[in-house]
Amino acid sequence: MWLPIICFLLILQQLNGEEETRNAADKLKGHLEAIGSQGTFLGNIPELKFSPDGKYFYKNFIHGREPVVIRNAASHWLAVKNWPNETYLNLTYGELPFTVHMYKVYRDALSVRKDMNLSHFLEIYKEQSVYLDSPFPPSNLINEISLPSILQCKEISSTISDVYLLMSSGNTSSPLHHDGYENILAIISGTKKVILFKSSYSENVYADEFNVLPGLSPIDPEKVDLEKFPKFADVMYYESVLNPGDILYIPQYWWHHVTSAGAPNIAINIWFDMFNYEEQFESAGLKESQDVVKTTELFEKLAKEEPQSIECKEQAPALDQALKIVLNDSSSESLRIPKVAKRPADFKLISGYTMPPLGFGTAGLHPDDRLPVILTALDEGYRLFDTAQIYGTEVPLGAAIKERNIPRDDVTIVTKLHPQYHGYESTISAVQESLENLQTDYIDVFLIHTKYCDGGYFKCPEGKPEGTWQDSWRAMEHLHDEGKIRSLGVSNFDVIDLRELVNFTKLPVSVVQNWFDPFHQDENVREFCGKHRIHYMGYSTLGSQWTTYGGLESNPVLTSATFFEIASHYEFVVAQVILRWAIHLNITVIPRSHDPRHILLNFKTLDMELSEHEIKLITEEWLPSTSQGTEQESESLGTNDEEPADLEGPEAREENDDNHVTSDGNKDEL
């Protein structure tokens, strides 16, 4: 009777023993092997095949506390093209100083570090065990990398603290560690394999038992001792290989191990301090230098309580501006020198008054958008506004200035005469109506909008106009004498008409406003203006005329490879580069948009500068034609003296809403 029971117990004991043996074997799986042979493999690090904007990145990854690989996000950087060439690096940046670690594989001890210039490092790095891991020195080297789109929101970019250059001949192995900052790793040359563990595994990596520095696990990643560190067998991890142009986001306090292959192996670290809880750690009685596990747990708890989204009203600064540095200042500490941007001065008109270099255009705004959009522009700092009797924006502009209680002398208003009012008396009446619409006693700049009525945008009622544009000019001179107009000018005029105007006017012509963009530079009119001290304003500077009236399917201004290269050099949007180029040429520009972010980005054009070389590149991208600003007929746009094109129709002026392109070629509305 007992025999079956005894046999059953013996069999059960044997099975339990085998199970314990299997469990013990599982616990020792990967014992004394390199990291990545233990624990549970979760798969590749989550990937994106597009580079999102900062709002998306913050919500889904920074706040979500999740890593992400963005494939080819840095492939447009000049660094990816230039830096694999050692000769280029040596000749261009050989004298720059860097800090070099005298090891390539971590061995549970602090490394010896030496300072040397890049030329010396390039001489030895393939033969000796050395690893350049150093902050960027202030230099133009940083202009060959760009601020990734995921970091361009001011809420993120303002927290960037450091940018490091990493370079070796490959075959490196880092410690198993975490970082006290959010980390962007961008691959320039070679490959890197990254193994990632959640911050919640701090106890499993024995973080509080560090023997070198806090944040460095005592586990040897080349030979993991599971008998000494048995909890490590329970970790779960991601693993991915990064190629040139790829970017990896590693959340703060996530543990990781990195190896590299291929020479030269070059990468960039961008560190930013999105969430700083030093006060909370202190209040909880925790020290980051000792209580690694508990500090990490509290950090994750506090991060989840942060807002789930950011406004991102301002973005796309250059990387050197985000870092607040001055380039080419060898006496400065690395990436720590305040940079003060000098905005261009207002232009002096021949009338004695001034005009800002950048204003806000109001053509083509939807009636429901006019007042709120103009209020937004005022709030962002615009003080030049371009309106016209035909736009329907004089009334909301006057109301916005009054609502914001801005002193009248602080705002420059440009408005224009509809051709139906050509004639002396009709012009007097039209200006008076504009004054009432704008709620002002004077108009800063009043322009004749165009020479003729037409059958389209400038269509006039039957029996209009009652006179000529020349009659209107004489009326404008009279209104100037009465103090109702300060500066006089014209729009959509060519050289032959300007020559006639300057020969009969009693007052100087202060302003000409014509179509101007990189491929339509209106050289003859601008040359004429220069000789007669007439200030030039450009409209449709971002190139919308080419698709609206030029018969092209795509806008050449916003698809030019040259302009994209310059924009990516600084990580500006192309629109900013083109607007700033025009301002460098002493041209006032008046872009418009209904989008608050675009309105701000356009205004931030004043905070950037282009080099003489870049200005020359944009200028020479133009292919001259014989029709620009000359006395000849413009066949390409179907214009002549009898029937001018609708050069300022709403469609032509809607540049920023549909064409605000980022330096990576994507529409700047995500």
Q: Which residues are catalytic?
A: 391
What are the residues whose beta carbons fall under 8 Å from the beta carbon of 450, sequence distance 6 or more? 419, 458, 491, 492, 644, 647, 648
Q: What is the dihedral of CA 555, 557, 560, 562, to 10 degrees?
A: 180
**Residue among 415, 427, 532, 414 at smallest CA distance from 478:** 427
What is the DSSP-derived secondary structure letter of residue 453?
A: -
636 contacts 480 by C-beta, under 8 angstroms: no
Query: What are the tokens at 332?
Result: 């400065």
> In angstroms, how far is CA 653 from the centroid of its own chain?
23
**Residue among 277, 228, 235, 230 at smallest CA distance from 252:** 277
159 contacts 151 by C-beta, under 8 angstroms: no
Secondary structure of residue 667 in the 3-state scheme: strand
> In angstroms, how far is CA 547 from the centroid of its own chain?
25
Could you tell me the maximum CA-CA distance found in the chain, to the nearest angstrom?
131
Secondary structure of residue 214 in the 3-state scheme: coil
CA distance 560 to 404: 39
CA distance 59 to 63: 5
CA distance 163 to 151: 13
CA distance 200 to 323: 31
Terminal alpha carbon distance of the chain: 78
Residue 463, amino acid: G
Residue 187, amino acid: I
603 contacts 382 by C-beta, under 8 angstroms: yes
